[in-house]
Amino acid sequence: MKLHWEPINLELRTTFRVAHGASDVRRNVLVYLDEGVGEAAAVPYYGETQEGIIAYLKSVPALGDDPFDLDGVLAKRPAGSRAARCAIDIALHDLWGRRLGQPLYRLLGLNPKNLPLTSFTIGMDAPPVMAEQARESGHPILKVKLGGEEDEARVKAIRAATSARLRVDANAGWSREQALRLIPRLAEYDLELIEQPLAVDDVEGYFWLKERLNALRVNLPIFADETAKNSHDVAKLAGAVDGVVVKTMKSEGIREALRMIHAARAHDMQVMVSCMVESSVGVTAAAHLAPLCDYADLDGPLLIKNDPYRGLRYDGAKMSLPEGAGLGLERR
Q: What digits encode the pLDDT tens for the residues 200-228?
A: 999 999 999 999 999 999 999 999 999 99
What pLDDT does residue 152 have?
97
Question: Residue 20 — very low, low, confident or very high, per pLDDT cuts 50/70/90?
Answer: low
Nearest to 237 by CA among 225, 252, 219: 225
The DSSP code sequence of 259-305 is: HHHHHHHHTT-EEEEE-SS--HHHHHHHHTTGGG-SEEE--GGGGBS
Q: What digits encode the pLDDT tens for the residues 284-320?
A: 999 999 999 999 999 999 999 999 999 999 999 999 9
* Number of domains into which the chain is organized: 2
Output the domain CATH number for residue 24.
Answer: 3.30.390.10
* Whether residue 251 sits in one domain with residue 316: yes
Domain assignment of residue 241, given as a range? 107-331
pLDDT of 56 > 70? The answer is yes
CA angle 36, 81, 299 (to 5 degrees): 60
Cβ-based neighbours of 258, under 8 Å, separated by 6 or more: 108, 289, 292
* Whether residue 241 sits in one domain with residue 201: yes
* Whether residue 250 sits in one domain with residue 209: yes
What pLDDT does residue 138 have?
93
- Whole-angstrom distance, CA of residue 248 vs CA of residue 246: 7
Q: Which of 51, 72, 101 is at the close of a domain?
A: 101
What pLDDT does residue 231 have?
98
Question: Residue 40 — very low, low, confident or very high, per pLDDT cuts 50/70/90?
Answer: very high
Question: What mean pLDDT do residues 98-104 have?
Answer: 98
* Whether residue 69 sits in one domain with residue 153: no
pLDDT of 39 > 90? The answer is yes
What pLDDT does residue 174 have?
97
* Whether residue 156 sits in one domain with residue 114: yes
Question: What mean pLDDT do residues 163-192 have?
Answer: 97
What pLDDT does residue 22 have?
73
Question: Residue 16 — very low, low, confident or very high, per pLDDT cuts 50/70/90?
Answer: confident
SS3 state at 36: strand
* Whether residue 296 sits in one domain with residue 261: yes
Predicted TM-score of the model (pTM):
0.94
* Whether residue 88 sits in one domain with residue 112: no
**What does the mean pLDDT of the chain come to?**
96
Question: Residue 23 — very low, low, confident or very high, per pLDDT cuts 50/70/90?
Answer: confident
Q: Which of 101, 123, 155 is at the close of a domain?
A: 101
- Whole-angstrom distance, CA of residue 303 vs CA of residue 32: 24
* Whether residue 112 sits in one domain with residue 89: no
The DSSP code sequence of 146-187 is: --STTHHHHHHHHHHH--SEEEEE-TT---HHHHHHHHHHHG
What pLDDT does residue 120 have?
96
What pLDDT does residue 19 have?
65
- How many beta carbons lie within 10 A of that of residue 150, not counting itself? 15
